[in-house]
């Protein structure tokens, strides 16, 4: 029973090693390889982690909306496990986007926070993520929770384009896509890939854990009956 | 430099808390599985004796 419920699988070890390698490369590239920017100095390096977590924070809701839609179509709780795991990981990424963005803003604009369209829409996205987590924890019935979650995820996914295009649609101070040296762009890419691989591995692990938890609860119920 | 370090430390602090939470969940689940295995073993041991009675 133990092996079937919590076994990591045959590919887990090479996959974990790959994730560690990618993440290590990302940190190394951001700290040592990327050149120091002339105007902002070392603070500019925040961008490598800020963009990486922001991308994962944005990708969460479309992923959860697809999982939610598939749940509504099939009524299979496995899709809800993917959505719930993604909501946790994406909430962390969205929170980190706001925090690292605030640190960046303090260096670049001299303020910790301003109601810029990009910042405001990102904050609204964080509130929807938080709402999803609160609703998920307050409902007992698994299918009821999955249904409400699917609807919330679809609403959240509709907010993502607003965050993405906020710098183009509205006038603000957040940079669109500033020009950078090729080394900086490569570092940014390595960072995005490394952090994405790491957060995806957390997502896969959490999904398996949620599925195992549900199966375990079912077995306990059957034994109690 | 301070802002850069603060950003990186914040990221790893969040990640560490989440990973520790996952680990605690994993350990809790392993204990539940062990308890279930013990319960099942006890039930299996009781069955032949109850039949014999």
Q: Tell me how long chain A is.
A: 225
Determine how many CB atoms are found less than 10 A away from the CB of residue B13: 12
Determine contact, residues A202/B18, Cβ cutoff 8 Å. yes
Lookup: tokens for A182: 């090729």
Q: pLDDT value at position A1? A: 43
> Do A41 and B14 make contact, defined as CB atoms within 8 angstroms?
no
Quick one: closest CA in B to A44, which residue?
Answer: B4
Task: Write down the pLDDT at residue A134.
Answer: 95
* Per-residue confidence (pLDDT) for residue A155, from 0 to 100: 92
% of chain A exceeding 90 in pLDDT: 58
Kindly report, residue by residue over A154-210, the tens digit of the pLDDT.
999 999 999 999 888 888 878 877 677 888 889 999 999 999 999 999 999 999 999
Q: Tell me how far apart the alpha carbons of residues B45 and B53 are, in angstroms, rounded to a whole number.
A: 13
Region label for A17, one of left (φ > 0), alpha (ψ between -120 and 50) or beta (otherwise): alpha
**Percent above pLDDT 70 for chain A:** 95
Over range A60-85, report the average pLDDT. 95
Which residues 21-50 of B are in CB contact (within 8 Å) with A?
Answer: 22, 25-26, 29-30, 32-34, 36-37, 39-40
pLDDT digits (tens, 9 = 90+) for B1-53: 788 889 989 999 999 999 999 999 989 988 888 888 888 888 888 876 655 55
CB within 8 Å of chain B, chain A residues 62-121 = 88-89, 92, 95-96, 99-100, 103-104, 106-107
Q: Which residues of chain B neighbour A43 with C-beta distances below 8 Å?
A: 1, 3-4
Is the confidence metric ipTM above 0.90 for this complex? no
pLDDT at A209: 92
Residues 6+ apart with CB under 8 A from A74: none
In chain B, which residue's Cα lies nearest the Cα of A54? B11
What's A143-163 look like in SS3?
HHHHHHHHHHHHHHHHHHHHH
């Amino acid at each position: 029973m133990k092996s079937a419920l919590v076994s990591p699988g045959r590919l887990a070890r090479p996959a974990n090693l790959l994730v560690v390698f990618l993440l290590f490369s990302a940190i190394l590239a951001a700290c040592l390889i990327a050149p120091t920017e002339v105007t902002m100095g070392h603070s500019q390096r925040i961008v490598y982690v800020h963009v990486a977590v922001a991308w994962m924070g944005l990708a969460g809701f479309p992923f959860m909306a697809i999982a939610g839609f598939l749940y509504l179509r099939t009524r299979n709780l496995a899709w809800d496990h993917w959505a719930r795991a993604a909501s946790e990981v994406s909430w962390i990424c969205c929170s980190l986007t706001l925090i690292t963005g605030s640190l960046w803003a303090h260096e670049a604009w001299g303020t910790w926070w301003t109601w810029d369209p990009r910042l405001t829409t990102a904050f609204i996205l964080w509130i929807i993520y938080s709402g999803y987590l609160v609703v998920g924890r307050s409902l007992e019935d698994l299918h009821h929770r999955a249904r409400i979650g699917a609807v919330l995820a679809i609403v959240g996914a509709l907010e993502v384009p607003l965050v993405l295009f906020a710098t183009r649609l509205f006038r603000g101070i957040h940079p669109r896509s500033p020009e950078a040296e090729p080394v900086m762009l490569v570092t940014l890419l390595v960072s995005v890939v490394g952090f994405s691989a790491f957060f995806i591995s957390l997502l896969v692990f959490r999904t398996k854990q949620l599925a195992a938890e549900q199966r375990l609860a079912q077995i306990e119920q059957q034994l109690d009956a | 430099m301070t802002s850069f370090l603060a950003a990186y430390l914040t990221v790893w602090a969040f990640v560490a808390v989440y990973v520790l939470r996952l680990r605690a969940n994993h350990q809790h689940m392993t204990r539940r599985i062990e308890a279930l295995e013990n319960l099942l073993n006890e039930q299996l041991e009781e069955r032949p004796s109850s039949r014999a009675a």
